[in-house]
Chains A and B, each alone.
Chain A
């Protein structure tokens, strides 16, 4: 019997297999950031262990970093301590670090692909659940906890239990204005936040093949929101063209050898998935979340659901709680929901293509007076590229704030936060209670919906806008 893509990559990394024990897997690339690493480095120091492979390890500063005044010392003392601790640890253990102010600094999941370090067939880990992003290249990539970070630093391996495989078939063609973000929000709404638990998801089908690398990363990024540790897409010419010429892409004969291997990375025709889900791309519309987990989403044309309409008792209770937290009434059209803040950025939607898409919507327009708009590139390199293309001027003329790179308002860890009771339309990945700041209310949306919402002040898609003047 044939193998799935995930099984091929897994099998190519087994260091040791023994009956009744997890497989010991080799890790090709370990990405590190300031939040989940200090205790791991401390553990190494206590045990007198070195980092086994600093040449397979890369660190960036992203979660705590401010997106304004980055040339000044970080005002928050504990954030500053955490960043300084990472700098000391990287120096001591010989790990390459891209610090605030460096052209390669940025969100770890934007930086890896941009440098060409993320490649097909690799195992990639990071102490961050959105490591699933790198699966867009046909890598097996997943988030780990701090104990596992220490384990990888010390041994370059991880003991792991085999997973099941789930095919997510996205058939057909997306309508204009419908994006990768809408696909993944629809997938999560369909299978639920626990639907992918124990699985690696493989996104397949015509609509997925047609997507750019950036859009594929958006989809794989949110696999974790469906409970799956990893999501993958088989590499193809789109993937190879993206990697070619990047700083860490293989060169010459190495490129040929790599390409030959990469072309073997697909699910065999006779391979069997443990589960299958099919999504009709033609029927998809822009999707937004109304609740407090990423599975609580609906097409923008729908209304806030009545909790009693859910069959399952625990879903009913969760919906009731969510509406209370979100201060929403059942039956309100989603398009009537007014927001205070629009956030465009994050490892989900902070890449150049996302900024281009948002800029194309807001060009020649003015933002709604009632809305503050933050545009935060996913990396310093994305910011530079956007500025070369003049996108920064489009955003500032529109009335948006053009910020420096980082995780920013995706999580309440740096100065960019919602105030209690404030409501956002956000291109990030989590609408959990308090995720964007204590008491903040989040609606997850695509960059196109975020841009249109910032024009009208209520949840909107570009189709709702009058032609720009």
Chain B
């Protein structure tokens, strides 16, 4: 996994709350068996609307998405994270993320950073007043800056460490094979098995 320490790129204001993963990528794009090329499905239904923010050329090359509260609700599809990453997003900022989406993002190196809703509103205004404005996300210092706005970035220590080191979860778990073996040896025999 690619390390994330800090990133600066064009900020994209997504003034919507409750952006569910069906909106991030509709189900028809989920039929692929590969892990790349999902950018065409990103916000597919909304991209048909010419007023949609990503259709503004000043935002088209955005890499920091600034969204309303409850981003990533609904379906567990990791394709939502792949679509954002494949499009070029490195970080999503919101005042609240859905749990599964946040977990999926962390495993793919997409930063989901929590800001206060007040800071989100300030950044939205700054980005809308001057489309193309850059946002800097510094995971090391836990700070987001946009023009003269300086916002506190909330991210838990463990996720931050994994992102900054670019560590893969399976590799981390497989450092403890004995713990898994021991647990399995003590499992009750009444637990079900799918193969008999």
B104 near A193: Cβ-Cβ < 8 Å: no
B81 / chain A contacts, CB cutoff of 8 Å: 145
- Write the chain B residue with the least CB distance to A22: B158
A205 in the interface (beta carbon within 8 A): no
A39 within 8 A of B: yes
Asked if residues A117 and B17 are in contact (CB atoms below 8 Å), the reply is no
Assembled-state Cα–Cα distance A143/B12 (Å):
29
Complex CA distance for A254 and B98, rounded to whole angstroms: 39
Candidates A22, A49, A127, A293; contact of B76 at CB < 8 Å: A127
A307: Cβ under 8 A from any B Cβ: no
Smallest Cβ-Cβ distance to A86: which chain B residue? B33
Q: Tell me whether B145 is interfacial, beta carbon within 8 Å.
A: no
If A24-B173, A127-B76, A147-B78 touch, whether A119 touches B192 (CB-CB below 8 Å) is: yes
Residue in B closest to A246 when the chains form the complex, CB atoms? B192
Q: Does A357 contact B (CB under 8 A)?
A: no
Quick check: is B88 within 8 A (CB to CB) of the other chain?
A: no
Interface residue B70 (Cβ < 8 Å from any Cβ of A): yes
CB–CB A432/B170 < 8 A: no
Chain B residues, CB < 8 A from A261: 188, 190
Tell me, yes or no, whether A21 is within 8 Å of chain B by CB.
yes
Q: Is B129 part of the binding interface, using a Cβ–Cβ cutoff of 8 Å?
A: no
A413 to B108, CA, bound (A): 24
Question: In the assembly, what is the distance between CA of A37 and CA of B190, in Å?
Answer: 28
Contact yes or no, B18 A293, CB < 8 A? yes
Cα separation A259 to B81 with both chains bound (whole Å): 42
Known: A145-B78, A148-B103, A151-B173. A55 touches B179 (CB 8 A): no
Q: Which residues of A contact B180 (CB under 8 A)?
A: 15, 24, 26, 155-157
How many B residues, CB 8 Å from partner?
57
Q: Identify A20's interface contact among B22, B158, B192, B195, CB under 8 A.
A: B158
In the bound complex, do residue B172 and residue A434 qualify as a contact, i.e. CB atoms below 8 Å apart?
Answer: no
Interface residues of A in 37-89 (CB under 8 A from B): 38-39, 42, 47, 49, 54-58, 63-64, 76, 78-79, 81-82, 85
A197, B69: Cα distance in complex, Å? 12
Chain A nearest CB, measured from B34 CB (Å):
7
Give the complex CA separation of A36 and B104 in angstroms. 12
**Using Cβ atoms and an 8 Å threshold, which residues of chain A touch B32?**
78, 82
Q: Is the CB of A229 within 8 A of B190?
A: no
B119 at the interface (CB under 8 A from A): no
Closest to B182 in A: A15
A273 partner residues in chain B, CB cutoff 8 A: none
* A284 interfacial by beta-carbon distance below 8 Å: no
| In the complex, chain A residues 1-53 whose Cβ is within 8 Å of any chain B Cβ | 15-16, 20-22, 24, 26, 28-29, 35-36, 38-39, 42, 47, 49
Docked-complex contact A157 and B173, CB < 8 angstroms: yes
* Inter-chain contact A314/B73, CB cutoff 8 Å: no
* Contact yes or no, B96 A434, CB < 8 A: no
1/0 per position for A178-212, CB-CB distance to B under 8 A?
Answer: 00000000000000011001100000000000000
- Report if A171 contacts B (CB, 8 A): no
Q: Which residues of B contact A401 (CB under 8 A)?
A: none
| A133 to B172 Cα, complex, angstroms | 30
- Flag if A413 contacts B99 (CB, 8 Å): no
Shortest distance between the CB of A2 and any CB in chain B (Å): 22
A145 near B28 (CB under 8 angstroms)?
no
Docked Cα-Cα span, A197 to B94, in Å, equals 14
Query: Complex Cα distance A116/B190, Å?
Result: 12
Residues of A within 8 A of B157 (CB): 20
A96 in contact with B190 given A129-B75, A293-B18 (CB within 8 Å): no
Q: Is A146 an interface residue (CB 8 A)?
A: yes
A37 → chain B closest CB, angstroms: 9
- CB contact under 8 A between A227 and B70, given known A15-B179, A157-B180: yes
Residues of A within 8 A of B173 (CB): 24, 151, 154-155, 157, 159
Chain A contacts for B22, CB-based, 8 A: 411, 430, 432-435
From 95 to 151 in chain A, residues with beta carbon under 8 angstroms from any chain B beta carbon are 96, 116-117, 119, 122, 127-129, 143-148, 150-151
Interchain Cβ contacts under 8 Å between A and B, 25 examples? A15-B179, A20-B158, A36-B77, A39-B35, A56-B193, A64-B31, A85-B33, A96-B195, A117-B192, A119-B192, A128-B75, A129-B74, A145-B104, A146-B104, A151-B173, A154-B174, A155-B174, A159-B169, A161-B158, A194-B18, A224-B100, A227-B70, A229-B100, A248-B193, A248-B194
Chain B residues in contact with chain A, CB under 8 A?
16-18, 20, 22-23, 26-28, 30-35, 45, 68-70, 73-79, 81, 96, 98-100, 103-104, 107-108, 156-158, 169-170, 172-174, 176, 179-180, 183-184, 187-195
